[in-house]
A and B are shown apart, each in its own frame.
Chain A
């Protein structure tokens, strides 16, 4: 019965912590939403908005890599699909009967059939996350059902990325091939996408998106479902013999991650002004992985920190020392892999904060060795003796 009481107290404490976390997250988001637009120039704000959009895809990647152990090197696919979905909608803001201008270059006179649904704004919004989710789900189902794991899974996702990249590159008549779709000069609800007002709105929407996606990921990774993801990562065979079918779980979480990447891609596209197949370049998908690794896997908050840090570093270093940035990025990745395997956030949590606490005298000093004060069995016996 003692265990029951302890368990109850623990759950109360968890609830309290969750409320504090919620308050901190919303507070931070509000600071960014109100203070940053006042401080930064329109150009800088647009950059920040893009980084925020990118940290959304990093969250999705952390969900599958950090928690479930699925290292996807093909998240560019889902990112680009979301971006294209929104760009197609913007391209269709035309008077009745006209088709986007680039089609005439290739002698296309009729809108390809798959463009039609993108006339509708609600359908586009749904498509931004449903299409990547379906593609990810299908790919995932085929791979996971055949029990393809680890590095083979990574290679397959990269191969899929190349297939999509080459397909989008080659289809001038369908989606303007290499040139991609420009969105800056299009309008949304009658407002020019590239205008300052619209960009501010996209920045705020990106922040809101980040907040929502963060809480979605938090919800998914706590509780039984999240623990099962960790269990699949650590020992999938055991999970099977416990009576769970890992395939369904992996497909679902991969599809969700794809959907998140789609949302990020759409937000990134409107703040960049263009989506091209280069969003599906191998290097970009690998960069996403680096963000998560730098921030710290399986921490969620680390994915956000990592993205912002790497991208901010990229901006400043490439402004100061153009062309050298790639070396910095490589060095950063090497540093993280060799010195900070748990990333910046993981290091702070496992080493930095306890160290700080002990330096400040907040940590209880242990007076016995071995640490009897921390041995739960001895603590329990002591409690029973006192009673």
Chain B
């Protein structure tokens, strides 16, 4: 992961996705390096979630191509792409509510995802160690045997991030990880993401500008399905086009 930092983990060429003529993504170009932590921002309806849908195979591109580690993702469906090493966290936490925290992590960390291997295989010692390690990372060791339904919203967010990591993906896609969290929880999630960024490439989609400032190195701004601009936080904030479509309101609020 860390050997060639110039290698592209994700490359998107002239990507267009249209739903009945409405272009959710319009001629989008995007690329990021291995090991990068990238934040994608944009106003509502800018196509951020569609962007993740295309990468994870939920939506097929109308035109254009998505390359993951140099491989075109078009022929693969969701579970194959997930096995190739892309993990996705949804906007609202989606964990299996009727399973315990440990069981949630165990399902995600299972290396053998075929039907019969899952039926006949037993969790190995290293699987169990991985799960215990993850429980510590996400701070849920004490609640390992609780049903996920009993967790608070913030704990579910952390659990879902833990499940992503359990898949041991190369690329993490995180959709609004701090929506609805308290300030303290937001900071926890931010630190968790920063820690993960040391060994993973991560794309974070976010609305919360405070949070973006906490974690962002490079920010990409989406607007009406296209890439508006890209750069570090200061550059983006001072870009007149960005101020016009998005940050303008926020700046006024802050002032």
A231–B108 Cα gap in the complex (Å)?
Answer: 11
Point out which of A7, A241, A252 has the most chain B C-beta atoms below 10 A from its C-beta: A241
Which residues of chain B are near A231, meaning CB under 8 Å? 96, 99, 107
Query: Within A212-255, which residues are at the interface with B (CB < 8 Å)?
Result: 220, 223-225, 227-228, 230-231, 234-235, 237-238, 240-245, 248-249, 252
| Chain B residues whose CB sits within 8 angstroms of the CB of A2 once the complex forms | 141
Verify A242–B115 contact, CB threshold 8 A: no
A380 at the interface (CB under 8 A from B): yes
List the B side residues contacting A237 at CB < 8 Å.
94
Q: Which B residues lie within 8 Å of A240 (CB)?
A: 77-79, 82
Query: A377 to chain B: closest CB distance in Å?
Result: 4
Measured between alpha carbons, how far is A379 from B144 in the docked complex, in Å? 13
Contact A243 B99 (CB under 8 A): no
Contact B123 A224 (CB under 8 A): yes
Number of interface residues of A (CB under 8 A): 31
The answer, among B82, B103, B123, B132, for a CB contact under 8 Å with A242, is B82
Whether A248 pairs with B114 at a CB distance below 8 angstroms is yes
Query: B102 an interface residue at 8 Å Cβ cutoff?
Result: yes
Q: Which of B77, B122, B145 is within 8 Å of A10, CB to CB?
A: B145
Contact B145 A242 (CB under 8 A): no
The reply to whether B56 and A248 contact each other, CB–CB distance below 8 Å, is: no
Is the CB–CB distance between B106 and A7 below 8 Å? no
**Chain B nearest CB, measured from A3 CB (Å):** 5
The reply to whether the CB of B110 lies closer than 8 angstroms to some CB of chain A is yes
Least CB distance, B38 to chain A, in whole angstroms: 20
Q: Does B199 contact A (CB under 8 A)?
A: no
Query: B83–A243 contact, CB under 8 A?
Result: yes
Q: Is the CB of B118 within 8 A of A376?
A: no
Partner of B94, one of A4, A238, A379: A238
Q: A234's contact among B79, B88, B97, B115, by CB below 8 Å, is which? A: B97
- Inside 8 A of A224's CB, which chain B residues have their CB? 106-107, 110, 118-119, 121, 123
Contacts of A380 in B (CB 8 A): 141-142
Contact flag A243-B96 (CB < 8 Å), given A2-B141, A225-B119, A380-B142:
no
Chain B contact residues (Cβ within 8 angstroms of A): what range? 35 or more
* Closest chain B CB from A254 CB (angstroms): 12
CB-based contact A228/B132 at 8 Å: no
Minimal beta-carbon separation of B7 from chain A (angstroms): 23
Whether A7 contacts B118 by the Cβ 8 Å rule is: no
Shortest beta-carbon distance from A272 to chain B in Å: 34
| Residues of chain A contacted by B146 (CB below 8 angstroms) | 376
Contact A3/B99 with A235-B94, A242-B163 known, Cβ cut-off 8 Å: no
Q: A3-B135, A243-B79, A249-B115 are in contact. Are A377 and B142 (CB under 8 A)?
A: yes
- The 8 A CB mask of A1-44 against B (1 = contact, 0 = none) is 01110110010000000000000000000000000000000000
The answer to whether A230 touches B96, judged by C-beta atoms less than 8 angstroms apart, is yes
A selection of 7 A-B contacts at a CB cut-off of 8 Å is A3-B141, A234-B96, A237-B94, A243-B167, A245-B79, A249-B118, A376-B146
Given contacts A3-B136, A240-B82, A241-B78, 7 further A-B contacts (CB under 8 A): A3-B144, A4-B132, A238-B94, A240-B78, A241-B87, A243-B113, A376-B145
